């Protein structure tokens, strides 16, 4: 990095839900960045941290705040611990860095020693961005394949559905919670009698019953229970696949339906 002394530096750090175990804690990133700046005599004017947000989207509060500060002339350089902290999508990363370059704000990666002032630095950034995106896609694919296999084997994944608890000392097995199971039965029985979702929800709320998360019943929560094959002993996986540009889930025409290891309530 050239002539960064006396320049105003913004530090950016991020951890995402899918990268919590990769060793890059927020504080760990910031500590190394601040140590480096102190050693070089650079001035850190602000820190920006996005917690629990994936690098596959640029709509992160602190990232947007940092970019606004850069556009407002409050920063001369943005420094990250590693390029994939800024973005994991190649095009996103290159677009962000290009925008910074246009407003004369430098970008520097501590571990990869990349700066964009030279053509070599730009080439290295493109290569690292491509590897970063490949790594993320591989992680997502491996996670999906593992979840798919567990579903085929009949094991439930995700938040516990109403009517079930985990078997003590077991990570996979579920057992029926009789009190909650009675609520589930009431929902199905009421629906079979022709009652609408709103009427069923109102009746449950009037009786003082709550969802698994301790919230009042709603039309959506009743709809979810009625349409969930889990209650007849089935496991459904990949009902939704692929996100559109508007971040809306699309229905999967061929979801996995398998016999579950759990006992049915209905």
Report, as residue numbers or ranges, the catalytic residues.
Answer: 16
Question: What token pair was written down for 238?
Answer: 């990949």
Nearest residue to 62 via CA among 47, 44, 82: 47
The Cα 18–Cα 89 span in angstroms is 15
Length of the chain: 266
The Cα 105–Cα 117 span in angstroms is 10
Question: What token pair was written down for 128?
Answer: 């690292």
The Cα 251–Cα 240 span in angstroms is 5
The 3-state secondary structure of 160-221, one letter per residue:
CCCCEEECCCCCCCEEECHHHHHHHHHHHHHHHCCCCHHHHHHHHHHCCCCCCCCCCCCHHH
**Half-sphere exposure for 119 (CA within 13 Å, toward CB):** 0
234, β-bridge pairs: 259
Nearest residue to 251 via CA among 239, 261, 262, 236: 239
DSSP, res 129: H
DSSP, res 16: -
């Amino acid at each position: 990095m050239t002539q960064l002394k006396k320049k105003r530096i913004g530090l950016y750090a991020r951890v995402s839900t899918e990268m919590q175990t990769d060793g890059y804690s927020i504080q760990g990133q910031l500590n190394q960045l601040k140590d480096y700046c102190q050693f070089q005599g650079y001035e850190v004017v602000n820190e920006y941290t996005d917690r629990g947000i994936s690098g596959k989207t640029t709509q992160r509060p602190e990232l947007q705040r940092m970019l606004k500060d850069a556009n407002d002339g409050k920063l001369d350089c943005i420094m990250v611990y590693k390029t994939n902290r800024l973005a994991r999508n190649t095009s996103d990363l290159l677009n962000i860095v290009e925008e910074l370059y246009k407003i004369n704000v430098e970008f520097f990666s501590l571990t990869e020693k990349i700066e964009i002032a030279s053509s070599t630095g730009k080439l290295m950034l493109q290569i690292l961005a491509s590897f970063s995106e490949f790594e993320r896609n591989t992680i997502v694919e491996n996670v999906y394949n593992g979840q798919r296999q567990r579903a085929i084997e009949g094991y439930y994944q995700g938040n516990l559905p109403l009517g079930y608890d985990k078997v003590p000392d077991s990570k996979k097995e579920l057992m029926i919670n009789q009190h909650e199971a009675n609520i589930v039965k009431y929902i199905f029985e009421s629906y079979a009698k022709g009652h609408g979702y709103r009427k069923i929800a109102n009746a449950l709320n009037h009786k003082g019953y709550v969802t698994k998360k301790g919230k009042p019943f709603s039309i959506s929560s009743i709809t979810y229970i009625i349409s969930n094959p889990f209650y007849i002993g089935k496991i459904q996986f990949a009902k939704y696949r692929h996100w559109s540009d508007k971040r809306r889930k699309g229905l999967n025409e061929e979801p996995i339906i398998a016999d579950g290891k759990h006992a049915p309530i209905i």
